[in-house]
Amino acid sequence: MSKKKKNKGPIRFEAILPTFIILLLIWGYFFLFFDSHLRMGLEYAGTQIHGAEVNLDSVDTNFLEPSIELRRLQITDKNKPHRNIIQIGRIKFQLLWDALLRAKLVVDDATVENIQALVPREKPGKIVPKDSSNSGALANAEKNVLEQSKEQFNENVLGDVANVLDGTDPSEQVKKIQADLKTDARIKELEKLLSEKEKEWKKRLEELPEAKEFEELANRAKKVKIDTKNIVEAAKGLRELEKIAREADKKYKKFEKASKNLNSDVSKFNKSMKDLEKFAKDDLRDLQKRLKIPNVDYKEFSMGLFGKMFQENLVSIKKYAATGRKYMPNKKATKKPELAPRERSKGKDLQFPITTGYPLFWLKRAALSSKSNEGDYNGDLSGEAMNFTSDPKYLKKPATLNIKGDFPKQNIYGVDINIKIDHTTDDHVESIRGIVAKYPISDKKLSDTKDVRFIMEDSVGQARFSGALKNESFTFKMLNEFRETKYDIDAKSSLLKDVLRGVANDLPVLNVESTAKGTWKDFSLDIRSNLGKELERGFKKQLDAKIAEAKKQLQKFIDDKISTQKKKLNSQFDRVKGGVNKQMSEQKSKINDAKKSAEKDLKKREKKGKKDGNKDLNNLLKGIKL
């Protein structure tokens, strides 16, 4: 007899053990590994974005409070890896349970304590190689800024001055040049184009109404009989004259239009011929750059000496702006996600609009505080960060960061920085404004080559800066002042060394005013400095004559190379243009003669009408004009 099957109750006792094991494994992972894995992930992300090693001593998560606490955050100084540019003792994020239950991370309040600057590291931090750091958009952002800004300044401007002062003979350098001149290439292009234009213009001249056509019309008009005594016959003659006049008018307008277009085309080519002078100037500038012949110009000196310093600031701004836009996008809350068929094994992220609740991440407020008596490298700082979120458009509040304070140990005073990131509309807008009233400078290399060494060993600086970035357009301005500066100066040219030392001794305050504006793909740099002006004044007498001679040699080289081709092209163009102008002039003259002949005939008929006393006929004749 088969055993009766027992009915199961609401509790499945056979599932208790597997469920318990799964929960125990999950608890074990979070208890033993989650914090260390989170710490490693934050360190890796920070290192890749910053470009130098970022370290965390520990990350502690607490799901009962709930909270996340980071201890001893170290950010390596890329220029001096043996120290941290910033070190933070403790960061604590207080989370909302309400948001966590919705799988959202909302920081209701955060504290950032024990902020330190320029702290020596226990061991030098690693610098991420440029070819492997900042993948994707960040790498391109840094590369674009570096390439564009470097094109606009010559880092070895003082070395070039040293070469000229040493008596480099430009005529010897010119002899070695094997250059492909832009002017030469342009002349060849114009020669080919002119041959094509000559055929085109000839064809268009042949298609113009000829003078004999107007002469035929004039003869037809003369043959038309108008009987002034017979009004019916006179009306027939007038209709024929009107028909001839309209035909002549149509042909004349066609001639005028074609003539105007042809003249315009010839004028455009003539302008292209004149543009050869611009190409020659570009060739002169390129050769001057190749032979390292500097301009005695304070702007060029300023750009060469301080361009790299300003370039580093631009790279940082672009890089962190790109990071902010990546993690703080302005999602369009009203736009519905588009669902489309996808290939198997490939996922697609869908951003659904938030109508109630929280964004995925939201840092409501973080208080920044630090006291100098807490440690040797601590600062007296205060500030706050507010409304950093993954969905600013939903939140409708811009993110802000304000920091004020001093770092007495490091001799840094009067730090006041305000940052605003507004992604609440379809336009991305970021702005920054700040001042550092006093900060130390050491080993700032203005020029360090085999030809010249010009280094700011020690100095006290002050910096004011402001900038705004809207979509891809930006402006950034910075004013630096340096006082109590000690220089390390040496040069292979004794004259250059004397000028540099004299300028340095006579310059109590060195100021640098830098401006960049445009788009990240196409921007302009303008750097001005009183050091540049003093160097221009110091070098002018010694360099003017030598540079003028070098430019003269280069100009002669260009002229010799292109003069024959240019003369040939000018001769060819003058011949073609002369032929076009002559033919058009002759045609127009004959047409005007035919027109005058017809008008003369009409006047005779008008007089005859008056004589015969037919006023109506006379008025009709007046209305007919060629």
Beta-bridge mates of residue 369? 113, 382
Place of tokens 């669902």: 339
Q: Which residues contact 47 (CB under 8 A, 6 or more apart)?
A: 53, 54, 126, 128
Q: Which residue has the higher pLDDT, 57 or 219?
A: 57
* CB-count exposure of residue 159 (10 Å: 0-12, 13-18, 19+): buried
Using CA atoms, how far apart are residues 69 and 232, in angstroms rounded to an integer?
A: 112
Give the up-direction half-sphere exposure of residue 149: CA atoms within 13 A in the CB hemisphere: 29
Using CA atoms, how far apart are residues 46 and 43, in angstroms rounded to an integer?
A: 5
Using CA atoms, how far apart are residues 606 and 625, in angstroms rounded to an integer?
A: 12
Using CA atoms, how far apart are residues 100 and 265, in angstroms rounded to an integer?
A: 72
The mean pLDDT value for 189-210 works out to: 71
Delimit the domains of the chain by residue range.
Answer: 32-124+356-423, 170-287+567-623
Find the range with the poorest average confidence among 75-89, 164-178, 444-458, 462-476: 164-178
Place of tokens 């564009």: 148
- Reported as a single tens digit per residue, the pLDDT across 123-140 is 999 988 865 544 455 555
Relative to beta strand 105-120, strand 399-407 is unpaired
Do residues 484 and 459 make contact, with C-beta atoms less than 8 angstroms apart? Answer: yes
Q: Which residues contact 361 (CB under 8 A, 6 or more apart)?
A: 104, 105, 106, 388, 389, 390
| 592 pLDDT above the threshold of 80 | no
Q: How many CB atoms lie within 10 A of CB 179?
A: 15
The mean pLDDT value for 600-612 works out to: 60
And the tokens for 22? Answer: 């799964």
The mean pLDDT value for 42-47 works out to: 90
Calculate what percentage of the chain has a pLDDT beyond 70.
Answer: 60
The mean pLDDT value for 545-550 works out to: 59
The mean pLDDT value for 457-481 works out to: 92
Query: What is the model's pLDDT at position 58?
Result: 93
Provide the mean pLDDT of the chain: 75
- Reported as a single tens digit per residue, the pLDDT across 46-98 is 888 888 899 999 999 988 889 999 999 999 998 889 999 999 999 999 999 88
Query: What is the model's pLDDT at position 358?
Result: 87
Helix 231-274 vs helix 530-612: crossing angle, to nearest 10: 160
Using CA atoms, how far apart are residues 527 and 516, in angstroms rounded to an integer?
A: 9
Helices (H) and strands (E) in the chain, counts: 15, 13
And the tokens for 619? Answer: 């008025």
Helix 231-274 vs helix 211-223: crossing angle, to nearest 10: 170
Using CA atoms, how far apart are residues 225 and 231, in angstroms rounded to an integer?
A: 12
Give this prediction's pTM.
0.59
Question: What would you measure as the largest C-alpha separation in the chain, in angstroms?
Answer: 148
Alpha helices in 207-338, H assignment, sequence order: 211-223, 231-274, 276-290, 298-327
Specify the length of the chain in residues.
626
- Reported as a single tens digit per residue, the pLDDT across 556-577 is 666 665 666 666 666 766 776 6
- Reported as a single tens digit per residue, the pLDDT across 300-356 is 777 777 877 777 777 777 777 777 777 677 655 444 444 445 555 556 666 655 556
Top mean pLDDT of 144-148, 271-275, 427-431 is at 427-431
- Cα of first residue to Cα of last residue in the chain, in angstroms, is 129
Do residues 366 and 111 make contact, with C-beta atoms less than 8 angstroms apart? Answer: yes
Using CA atoms, how far apart are residues 615 and 609, in angstroms rounded to an integer?
A: 7
DSSP state of 335: S
Place of tokens 């999950």: 26
Q: How many CB atoms lie within 10 A of CB 506?
A: 9
Query: What is the model's pLDDT at position 29?
Result: 79
Residue at 341: amino acid letter: P
